[in-house]
Amino acid sequence: MKVTIGQINTTNGDIEGNVSKIIAAIEKAKADGSDLIVFPEITTHGYTSQDWFQDPDIIDHSLDPLEKILPATKGIAAVVGVIRRNFDNDGRRIYNSAAVISDGELLGFADKTLLPEYDVFDDPRWFEPYHGRSRHLYEIAGKKVGVVVCEDFWNDKTFWKDRLYDKDPTDEVIEMGAELVVSINASPYNKGKIKLRGDMVAHRAKTNRVPIVFVNLIGGNDGIIFDGASLIADEEGDIILQASAFEEFVETVELDCRKPDVRGITGGEISAIYDALVLGIRDYARKNNFKEVVLGLSGGIDSSLVAALACEAIGPENVLCVMMPSPFSSEGSIKDSEDLVRELGCKSRIEPISAAFDVLVDQLELRVPTKGGESLAAENIQSRLRGVILMAISNSEGRLLLSTGNKSELAVGYCTLYGDTNGGLAVLGDVLKTEVWEVARHFNDRADREVIPKKVIDKAPSAELAPNQLDQDSLPPYELMDPILKMYFEQKASPGEIIAAGHDPERVYWILNKVEHPANEFKRQQLPPTLIISKNAIGIGRRRPITHKYRRKENN
């Protein structure tokens, strides 16, 4: 039996465009002599359509895309992620489902049973779970095929130490005698996820002696990035087809080939973060009809990396870097920025803010900073003036404004609301400062030359809003702060667990109280969409009130 991975990049609501991609992939699979092609979860409408799944027009016409897909499947079978209406009087109005099609005819639907509501997921808000007493196997190319949807595959009692559900729909179809398991997914990227999926699929295939086809979505959708990395494992647990990560992939393999796919997934986690950010920028711009971007370039590492990533994502000819020196900008901030622009080959311009700053300081009778923190209002005016200039360029030239702040700063509120937080997309909002340095070095390694100047990577971080100002005057060193933030956000570790890992108690409580302070939550809730590369990231996966009285106390 030949099976094809149909790893395609869908756009929410672009039903015609999504269906065209589905049909094009089906035609390629036919040309390859495939018996079955498998597509990701909700391929027709886009998995991250959110409350569009509650719209009456969408619900009433949910299966209309199948009218075009069915005729295209003459001579082949296909599993396509769809939504379909729930005609019962109770429950949510639609099911998240897999349409199983063969030779132009609809064999049936496999509805999703387990509906996740953690991190970025909110399936119970939109979908009704499958309530049937028994599942179905489908006869395809002489094999009994069990079909499950995403979370229904992720509850293997022999793989997971802690399980979220009592049921395991995949076990159920295996116990019914499935000779092939098909799992369609919309599994977002976060650090470690690609390897985890591979281990999970290989383990289940080998343990149950059954081939598994695991197809995952690819593409950026607001801040959520799907990496693809679909795979097929044979009954020995060997990966016989491994799709590329972060790009579309339509290829075919013979299930009984007994040839492990030696391509695998290459590169480490920093390489994956790099690819995720590039894809996130490219798709957010493309899917929202932006051809060009603009960003403020300070000569620091964060804005330098965003400029480099943007050039990789949409081409240097479409990237505009704006330098906006103030009275406190160092000589190197402009020179280093010009060196980077020259290496990248992108566009640039200088828009000084000193005159406007002097006018506002005089008009508002503010104290001019002589050291960091002495006059926050005057410091923040500089950032806000830059935000005004960048938004004006964005408006006048139709450019997407990229925000450049990193996760370490945003977590503890070291940013200016309506200043450096302005933008249409926060590129590094889920990237810790220490990771920013690593990704920048990786960028240079990929280019095999020093695109981002070493002096930019090595220079001490500074907002340059006051004389001789350094981040470390206000914050712990990032090398000490980031491991605490990583445990707090990504592992949901308690203060006690973080301290037990060897971190200074006073520093831990200072950082966590900064993160959780209402003023900083207020800032974060007004951020642009943030590209997500970790679990429990700043953004839609983390929900905290602005107004609260919770405070961390030692020995609480």
Q: Which residues are catalytic?
A: 41, 112, 150
- Ramachandran assignment for 443, one of left (phi > 0), alpha (psi -120 to 50 degrees), beta (any other): alpha
Q: DSSP strand E in 355-450: where?
A: 400-403, 425-426
In b/e form, how buried is each residue of 342-375, taking b as 16+ CB within 10 angstroms? Answer: ebbebebeebbbeebbeebbeeeebebbeebeeb
Closest CA to 373 of 460, 462, 459, 465: 465
Cα(175)–Cα(120) distance, integer angstroms = 32
The number of beta carbons lying within 10 Å of the beta carbon of residue 544 is: 12
Which residue's structure tokens are 């599994």? Answer: 187
Indicate the DSSP class of residue 461.
P
**Who's near 510: CB < 8 A, 6+ residues apart?**
476
Q: Which residues contact 220 (CB under 8 A, 6 or more apart)?
A: 226, 279, 280, 281, 282, 283, 284, 287, 531
Q: Are 372 and 474 in contact (CB under 8 A)?
A: yes
d(CA 405, CA 413): 11
Q: Give the phi and the psi of residue 180 in degrees, each rounded to 5.
A: -155, 135
Is 108 within 8 Å of 138 (Cβ atoms)?
yes
With a CB cutoff of 8 Å and minimum separation 6, the contacts of 492 are 536
HEC profile of 495-539? HHHHHHCCCCHHHHHHHHHHHHCHHHHHHHCCCCCECCCCCCCCC
β-pairing, 293-296 vs 143-149, is: unpaired
Other Cβ atoms within 10 Å of 64 Cβ, number: 12
Listed residue (429, 457, 203, 226) closest to 339, CA to CA? 457
Compute CA distances 253 → 263, 264, 284, 370, 527, whole Å. Answer: 14, 14, 32, 67, 44
- Count CB-CB contacts under 10 A for residue 483: 16
Q: What is the DSSP letter of 468?
A: T
Q: 551: number of CA atoms within 13 Å, CB side? A: 5
Sign of CA dihedral 363, 366, 367, 369: negative
Cα 530 from Cα 428, distance rounded (Å): 7
Whole-number Å distance between alpha carbons of 155 and 173: 13
